[in-house]
Structure 1
Amino acid sequence: MSDEEIEEKKDPDLRLPRQAQHYAQLVAHFVAVKNSNQVAGAMDAHFERLDLSRICAAPSARLSHFPFKSDRTFPAQC
């Protein structure tokens, strides 16, 4: 992976949506394919890496493409 690509992946505006999408894929796999300790562990580890505080830190990463309204109580008061 090039240095430019690595720096692009660190961009908070792009990182949170990408992490959320990957977590959703793990959940879909867990539900559709198998219910195992390994997949459950991967889901837990990935969720811990999701830095939900970035929703406040990066305004454009507020998941605005999802069709729901926020009451601003999750994940933290912004």
Structure 2
Amino acid sequence: MAFEDRLAEVLQRMDLRPIARQGWRDVSEPWWLPRVPGISSDGFLYARCAAVLQGRETIEKIVADPRRFTLRWDVR
């Protein structure tokens, strides 16, 4: 399977409403700012890509429990 196909498959696996609704923040934002409820479509894609970079274990945890997506993602 080509890299692009596998990446698209994993990103689609995380394309779930419960994950998208989680509060989140970019790593460049101070920890004390409130988390943003919901994510723009671009922001959600970038955050999922950042999660993919963390590896299979992170993806499995997020899919099993969407609350784990509330980490700080570097989405630049």
For the criterion TM > 0.5, the same-fold answer is no
RCO comparison, higher one (Cα < 8 Å, 6+)? 2
> TM-score scaled by structure 2?
0.29
Structure with bigger gyration radius? 1
Name the one with the larger strand percent.
2
> TM-score scaled by structure 1?
0.29
Name the one with the larger helix percent.
1
